[in-house]
Amino acid sequence: MTDDLKLKLSLLPDEPGVYRYRNREGVIIYVGKAKNLKRRVNSYFNREHSSVRTTMLVRNIADLEYTVVNTEEEALDLENALIKEYQPRYNVLLKDDKSYPWICISGDLYPRVYITRDARSKGDRYYGPYPKAEVAKVLIDTIRQIYPLRTCRLLVSRETIEQGKHRLCLQYHIHRCEGCCQGLVSAEQYGDYITEIRQILNGDTHQLMDLLMQQMQQLASELRFEEAEVLKRRYKMLEHVRRRSVIVSPSIHNIDVFGLLRDEDAAWVNFMHVRGGAVVQSFTLEYRLSTHDETDAEIMSMAIAEVHQRFAETYVRDRVTEAMVNVIPDVEFSNLSFMIPQRGDKKHLLDIAIKNATQRRTDRLRMMEKLNPEQRITRTLTTIQKDLRMTTLPRHIECFDNSNISGSSPVASCVVFRNAKPAKKEYRHFNIKTVEGADDFASMREVITRRYSRLVQEGQELPQLLIVDGGKGQVTSALEALDSIGLHGQITVVGIAKRLNEIFFPGDSIPLYIDKNSETLHVIQRLRDEAHRFAITFHRKQRSKGQIHSALDSVPGIGPKTRTLLLKQFKSLKRIREASEQDIAAIIGPVKAHSLVEALQNEKPATSDESL
């Protein structure tokens, strides 16, 4: 395996999609789908395979490409289209002419609604495809139960109705058809049925699902559970229909899709070619921007020209005359028109193109960060600097948190991050010495004063950013403490509130709400959580120690050395209580052991806090 292939494997996303393996000659030898690209593709390379065919496939893999989609169903559709297009050597499924089923609404006077695998007839309207034929069958069956549709293949026209060529069939007599063949229902009324059915097939299944739910609840109230179970199964299948794939659409023929994404230094354009209603080509172009003068329209023009040069034969063969873009190019191309879709299947395809361009950008950043870890650190710190309006990179960050219960055993913690990563050897905890009761503001002033007075005295480096767990009051207390030791304005101070992750700045009553996906918020939350964990751990330790001492101090003959021996052996007061007198005597002698056991037995019941 080459280093380039190893790097690509490490950067695969945890997204559904389709992957393509190429051999050393650049020929696609396998196309596969995955619910999770990272897990599925890596499974080929991290274990031995019992199948000789799979082993040979892995040996011939020289390169890897992939396309991300939104759902597993879309991945199945795209896999089907690509296998039929490239006929890879190692694929054994989906290579024949059998395709997924479609639901067709014919173009007759009284249209038929039926399932077909050949979506080619002109004048008919097709919906799908459905990766599971069972979904299409249940949908057709449910629609026919609701709407009296004709199922016969007779040619029904105004002439045949006037001439009376057809007789009423059994479907009419069992009230499943309204007699279309003899004109007993008007074409307009029947057309209303078809309009509603088209809405359902377009994904608007709420009406049908609501009706099924009502019928299911009615049957359940009548204790007809078996019939209700049948409707429940249909309801579940319709939920799958609502999420059906639209990456392949019969209404889209020989169209190109270009999705552009750019940042300050680079641009990515994902290209997809749709032939016969299926995506058959997909790749992403990347451009390094030498200046910031290039407009999006110019970049799109370059990408389209590059694609035309690479696939000249495709354009001649498929006669591509339309392209969907998110930016109109600034150059006119002969016999090619451009559109920016706003809704429907075409908009969905454009969204997938932009998603793939975004994924390519993510892959590029991750690849560069793997090759140069310092780059990721710098990018993260630069983001924090920008979001928190700092003048320097926050390479050294410290965060403080207080912990107490009704003022008992008050403690505080200080955690240190360097280059956005924990520096655990520099963590510190504090016993609050000068504050009586539960006064978080005074506790914060004491701790920060003690911490930074010592750093100044010892000539150690000060942090660029100080974060306190709390809102405006804690931020103000921290500033007062810094001012008292002559550090005014030398350290940026912010607070983070627990409830809504609000960021508070000194002197500003309106908090800052950072995007929940921002790296800045992730780092600050991690600091806050780490400070809270460190403070709680220390607080529990102090309370436990105080409770043990208070329980043992009243026992005659039990001094500091004896307490140390007991704690070293039994670890906690609970275990001392559970130990037998003989076990305790083996540590401190029988006389002291008897006094201790007797004192603990006569003690008042322990509170619920004792175990903490």
Q: Domain residue spans in the chain? A: 3-86, 102-242, 255-367, 383-540, 554-611
Task: Write down the pLDDT at residue 593.
Answer: 84
Task: Write down the pLDDT at residue 297.
Answer: 87
Q: What is the rounded average pLDDT of the residues 492-516? A: 81
Q: Write down the CATH number for the domain with range 3-86.
A: 3.40.1440.10
Task: Write down the pLDDT at residue 19.
Answer: 92
At 7, the amino acid letter reads L
Task: Write down the pLDDT at residue 611.
Answer: 32
Task: Write down the pLDDT at residue 260.
Answer: 92
Task: Write down the pLDDT at residue 203.
Answer: 61
Checking if the pLDDT of 12 tops 80, the result is yes
Task: Write down the pLDDT at residue 368.
Answer: 75
Backbone angles phi and psi of 568, in degrees to 5: -65, -35
Checking if the pLDDT of 352 tops 90, the result is no
CB burial string 496-529: b at 16+ within 10 A, e below: bbeeeebbbbeeeeebbebeeeebbbbbbebbbe
255-367: which CATH architecture?
Answer: 2-Layer Sandwich (3.30)
Q: What is the rounded average pLDDT of the residues 517-545? A: 79
User: Which of 498, 478, 503, 499 has its CA nearest to residue 388?
Assistant: 503
Task: Write down the pLDDT at residue 240.
Answer: 60
Task: Write down the pLDDT at residue 552.
Answer: 67
Average pLDDT, the chain: 80
As a whole number of angstroms, the distance between CA 440 and CA 443 comes to 5
Checking if the pLDDT of 532 tops 60, the result is yes
Averaging pLDDT over each range in 304-313, 446-455, 603-612, which range is the top one? 446-455
Percent share of the chain, pLDDT over 90: 6
* Lowest-confidence segment of 239-243, 384-388, 461-465, 589-593 by average pLDDT: 239-243
| Region label for 607, one of left (φ > 0), alpha (ψ between -120 and 50) or beta (otherwise) | beta
Checking if the pLDDT of 437 tops 80, the result is no
Task: Tell me whether residue 406 is exposed, middle or buried, using C-beta atoms within 10 angstroms of its C-beta: 0 to 12, 13 to 18, 19 or more.
Answer: exposed
DSSP secondary structure letters along 12-67: --SS-EEEEEE-TTS-EEEEEEESSHHHHHHTTTSS--S-HHHHHHHHH--EEEEE
pLDDT band at residue 557 under the 50/70/90 scheme? confident
Q: Write down the CATH number for the domain with range 554-611.
A: 1.10.150
Task: Write down the pLDDT at residue 45.
Answer: 87
pLDDT band at residue 608 under the 50/70/90 scheme? very low
CA angle 449, 417, 383 (to 5 degrees): 110
As a whole number of angstroms, the distance between CA 378 and CA 17 comes to 31
Checking if the pLDDT of 114 tops 60, the result is yes
Checking if the pLDDT of 451 tops 50, the result is yes
Q: What is the rounded average pLDDT of the residues 513-530? A: 84
Checking if the pLDDT of 408 tops 70, the result is no
In this predicted model, which residue has the larger pLDDT, 79 or 540? 79
* Lowest-confidence segment of 9-13, 214-218, 220-224, 342-346 by average pLDDT: 342-346
Checking if the pLDDT of 303 tops 50, the result is yes
Q: What is the rounded average pLDDT of the residues 462-490? A: 89
| Whether the domain at 255-367 and the domain at 554-611 fall into the same CATH topology | no
Distances, alpha carbon 337 to alpha carbons 82, 257, 291, 425, 550, in Å: 26, 12, 29, 63, 85
Task: Write down the pLDDT at residue 553.
Answer: 65
As a whole number of angstroms, the distance between CA 503 and CA 511 comes to 5
pLDDT band at residue 396 under the 50/70/90 scheme? very high
Checking if the pLDDT of 547 tops 60, the result is no
Q: What is the rounded average pLDDT of the residues 587-600? A: 83
Fold for the domain defined by 383-540: Nucleotidyltransferase; domain 5 (3.30.420)
